[in-house]
Amino acid sequence: MPRIAFVTDSTSYIPQDLIQKYDIKVAPQVLIWGNEQLLDGVDITPDQFYARLKTAEVMPTTSEVNAGTFKTILDPLVAQGLPVVMVLISSKLSGTINSAQHAKEMLPAGARVEIVDSEATSMALGFQVLAAARTAEAGKSLDEVVRVARKAKEHTGVFFVVDTLEFLHRGGRIGGASKLFGTALNIKPLLELRDGRVEPVERIRTKAKALARLLDVLEERIGGRKPVRLCAIHAAAEDEARALLEKAEKRFGPVESFISPASPVVGAQAGPGTVGMAFSFGV
């Protein structure tokens, strides 16, 4: 197995056992709450975040990982002579890619650092990181690992249902779904990350129907390609996520499946009650 280091950001929220197995370095995004700056998943967990959100008078905002944080992560890896593959949140959702690029420019000449725009977040990003790490585990060359990392967006994605578009709208992450904003009280829109932006799939009247339709749309997207990997994502809605995953497991027979909470930074953008399904197919 070639020695390659992998770096992602905290919005991926890859399960901890997989982080440890592949020794993935995670750069924490920043949650700004009043006068506090909290590191995503370090200073505040999802449970703590959603509990505090219920009674908050001031709504949190977010900020990307800064270049200094990335450099602190990269310096010891580069000092060991390791090539680094960084797979990060969509550049259309965050300035994280720019921060990574600035950090790379501060490294010694000859450092091999590949920065990949996942055009995704949450476990749609996480599955891309894992695809690259598993390629390295299989003994493939660095060039092949980078190729897989750059192509992984073609066979990963995420569909999700929000309780309200208010959080996406407030955070400026609403993308093409902005056309739905005025009708948000009357619908539960089925959304997806498409080309790095939040885009609408369908307008549906109830959340239950939206989640059922999510599985139909997912089946269309997967198109029978195997293997399938699934992650049910939720923002303080674990029961709904678990029920969705159970139905998906029966329908798609995934080789890997689990539940992941949305990180505080993702939750601040999507809002509590959000439920989604990240997926990977064909690899």
More confident of the two residues 186 and 244: 244
Q: How far is Cα 210 from Cα 201, in angstroms, rounded to an integer?
A: 10
Quick one: tokens of 138? 């299989």
Domain count, the chain: 2
More confident of the two residues 268 and 43: 43
Please name the residues in contact with 114: beta carbons below 8 A apart, sequence gap of 6 or more.
Answer: 83, 84, 85, 86, 146, 149
Quick one: tokens of 74? 């990269």
Shared-domain flag, residues 63 and 90: yes
Shared-domain flag, residues 172 and 277: yes
Mean pLDDT for all residues in the chain: 92
Shared-domain flag, residues 264 and 147: no
Shared-domain flag, residues 145 and 176: no
Shared-domain flag, residues 182 and 100: no
Q: How confident is the model over 79-112, as pLDDT tens digits?
A: 999 999 999 999 999 999 999 999 999 999 999 9
Q: What percent of the chain has pLDDT over 70?
A: 93
Quick one: tokens of 15? 């399960």
How do 30-33 and 5-9 pair as beta strands? Answer: unpaired
Quick one: tokens of 118? 């996942």
Q: How confident is the model over 112-149, as pLDDT tens digits?
A: 999 999 999 999 999 999 999 999 999 999 999 999 99
**Average pLDDT score over residue span 253-265:** 96
- Where among 125, 153, 181 does a domain terminate? 153
- Where among 138, 153, 168 does a domain terminate? 153
Q: Which residue range forms the structural domain that includes residue 129?
A: 5-49+59-153
pLDDT of residue 171: 47
Shared-domain flag, residues 64 and 140: yes
Please name the residues in contact with 105: beta carbons below 8 A apart, sequence gap of 6 or more.
Answer: none
Quick one: tokens of 253? 């027979």
Quick one: tokens of 3? 């020695």
Q: How far is Cα 11 from Cα 177, in angstroms, rounded to an integer?
A: 21
Burial of 186 (0-12, 13-18, 19+ CB in 10 A): exposed
Q: How far is Cα 77 from Cα 206, in angstroms, rounded to an integer?
A: 48
**280 contacts 228 by C-beta, under 8 angstroms:** yes
Please name the residues in contact with 34: beta carbons below 8 A apart, sequence gap of 6 or more.
Answer: 58
Shared-domain flag, residues 100 and 65: yes
Q: How confident is the model over 52-68, as pLDDT tens digits?
A: 988 999 999 999 999 99
- Where among 100, 128, 153 does a domain terminate? 153
Within-domain flag for 54: no
CATH code, domain with 215: 3.30.1180.10
CATH code, domain with 33: 3.40.50.10170
pLDDT of residue 177: 44
pTM of the model: 0.92
Please name the residues in contact with 279: beta carbons below 8 A apart, sequence gap of 6 or more.
Answer: 124, 127, 156, 157, 158, 218, 221, 222, 228, 229, 230, 231
Q: How confident is the model over 146-199, as pLDDT tens digits?
A: 999 999 999 999 999 998 777 776 644 444 444 444 444 567 889 999 999 988
